[in-house]
Homo-oligomer: A and B are copies of this chain.
Amino acid sequence: MHRTKVKVLEDVFDANSTIAAANRADFDRAGVTVVNLMSSPGAGKTTLLERVVHDLDVRVGVLEGDVQGTYDADRIASLHVPVTQINTDPGFGGECHLDANMVRSALPQVPLDDLDLLVIENVGNLVCPAEFKVGEDVRVMVSSVTEGEDKPLKYPLMFRTCELVLVNKIDLLPHLDFDLERFLANLDAVHPDVPRLLVSARTGEGVDAWRDWLVRTAEKEAAAV
């Protein structure tokens, strides 16, 4: 009887990780740095992109993930940035997150060779998007101060697996019962010393630092490939 020695690799049965690695290889080959941008619904992902995409020193494209519609994609496209929409409802059954295969299915529409940076705006949700790699180099999450101080403790995987936290809507701090120090302590409890930027997409406060972080990250990843 012939026996084949099977070497079981970690994640070998995880189709999502396999496809995410294939996406990542395509991104690396094209020299594109990929950011997976995540948050609750309405935390300000699209507005924070609108604030910077016209003013980056690198060539940027956007992949929009939504259950339905092209509302955010239309906003980004109006800024003359190449944008591709993934709807998780008609094609994938109302999924609450992007997965690697959804991203892979969109790649033929993404002009990778003309980009240095691709921002994947995930579906608004603090749970499942964190569980699915899509081939990204880095993860950025947006947490709005209107959501309360307890969010890092209640959704720890999301806060733990990101490389940058954008604390958005800080213009509203005078009008909220939000304790910024307590939020930052909760953040450090689940992800000690993760880089964080205090920003207001509405007033523009902190947006320069967010733009600089994006450009620096794109350049650093490009140099590392």
> Which A residues have a C-beta under 8 Å from some C-beta of B?
40-42, 66-69, 71, 94-96, 123-128, 131, 144, 146-148, 150-151, 153-157, 169, 171-172, 175-177, 202
Contacts and interface: CB of A to CB of B under 8 A. Distances in A.
Contacts of A150: 71
B175 A68 contact: no
A147 B42 contact: yes
A71 to B, nearest CB: 5
Which of A40, A66, A67 counts the most chain B CB atoms within 10 A? A40
Query: 3 closest pairs, A vs B, by CB?
Result: A42-B147, A96-B127, A146-B146
A35 to B, nearest CB: 21
B94 A154 contact: no
A175 B172 contact: yes
Contact of A66 (B69, B146, B154): B154
B202 A146 contact: no
Contacts of A41: 40, 126, 147, 151, 154-155
Given A40-B124, A128-B128, A144-B146, 13 more contacts: A41-B151, A42-B151, A67-B154, A67-B155, A68-B154, A71-B150, A94-B131, A125-B126, A146-B146, A146-B169, A146-B172, A171-B175, A172-B172
